[in-house]
Chains A and B, each alone.
Chain A
């Protein structure tokens, strides 16, 4: 095995790429859960976003139109979830699962004619002389637009949740929907909007996978990324900056795992490929083992449906 083949600068630059899908999807889910809704359909919304973005980009030849399609597709699937859980009062866990099962089937159906096609390239941004800086240039100033957008999203969500009126209303709805309703906030409207936002983010995360990270369409290509994003929200204790850190940590594990495979570590590939899932479980255990702390940081009304008594 040849560890010298692993270049730390390339490693860091590529871990940011590897982390972006789960960062985007995780940020969306964080907002959804902050509003008191548990949407387990992230995997389904991601894969539908992946296939829609790929299809539009491959047809039009424009990756940015593809990204818009990913956003729209993720939000459209989330709208079904919103209809089920907010209007028709269905169980959130079951509805989320339904979204994932449906999404996996739907994407396989739509994606059939796109297997084996190469999508249009998304160019990396360059910042003139900054990009030519020795180490930092490659890591900070030579990424594609969505890597920057995902970091901007973290900043925006963080600021919005903590410092704006609407962000605080969203948190109030998530902490205690009965009190929020009594104060006159529209619980259902807030939650529907949050769910749509979450779907858009998950869709974009999926689009990033098929358009930039892989870039190709294969059936079931999200391979659990949506579930890892869900775990990431717990890991982050529902805090945006921790989510960023967590996503990059996972990105690092994924990239390292690939690099070790390539470097010819004498462990069968399958066991290395297991590691992201096992580490996710491990992290979940560590984060939730302190009962008092984890119940404090979780939104109070998480997963409970709200029906205004009339």
Chain B
């Protein structure tokens, strides 16, 4: 598939290989000034390597062929010093992690000014003026002396704004943003994407937006390319492409990204809830500022109540810092609440200890967000999945133990033979299945999912969500599903709770909360989430 010659950027037959592996195969793309191109694909599809190849920033040992023409010049023929001069001035890049993109010891204004002075001969005062204006434009005005602040004083979203300011200060002709919002929560995500699109339009920059979330691209881009295993399998005008994707992979990606709201409520249980949280308060001590007075503690969870019935999925939504994770730690009895109580199967769980705590722990398990950090790398899957057997008074031994581990692995869609392998041998989605197997092994009544699908690609995500819904019904599990992503919660949850700054601001059946949110915060979250619900641009 070849794109017609484009005036700003013209990639023709680009191939990248590292060692024997070919990572990018015969990619051809083009871009006009002021145009927004989306590059979608799962992790490992070669989209990041493609964007790095454009700026000639590939890791050492990578071999490229094919032509990358920028304003008609072949970048492959340029020397490194010439490329250095172009990067930052003509080609700007925004990366995923704003934390590592900034110098922690330099004020944000200086960081923007530094880039300016590096590329154009202006006075220090002039560079500072440009820096101030750019920071204003990316939304970092407000208080006096915003440009004097240091990166650690800023939130993740604000840092990403600074990184963008550094990149756009000189209005590069081409801007490449590689997963610029992957580490941000849903509201910051929407704001950053709108900022990038707005800047590209008003300054006539060409923007390449790289992400695994095709739903976001559907809303933001003029043209769209879908990558799969190093190849571009679909390319065209976004609106047209969203209507008729022809390649099966493109269709699968789109279907997975378009999460359908869950329909129908489960049959209400007359019995008492299996998990009941009442008026829980969780405070953390703050470092004291004064020698004479202890600092007031930080109240992460402020009088929160919720309950989970058997066989239902309860969503808990909130931005990062809203106290969701602190609440989950209390629910799992990893932390004790300062006041309030967590009841599990009618018994006091938050104040239990000794044998009673052990017995109750069997009934609640957890799946964490990070499929890479959730497993001890030195343990086999069998040992990892069997770890919660420790909670049983007479844990099954040898053959019986193996049989039960094999059974639970099959339940989550893995094979019993996987038990002898190590977690590193599995992909992110498979690891999340292992984590679910570990949670199921003691046949608990409740499982907490703490952002359990946030680190996954859309296709893997929809598979895990499917598994979760199926297990809930089949095993009559109660699930507490914690996520910042409203679209995900909407697709699985029967009831939903919304948290903001440690308080529960809204709760009710998912269908009614999402149809007519009453609290202003829920409405704001809904508006931000609409950006990536897979519906076309309006």
**Are A and B part of the same complex?**
no
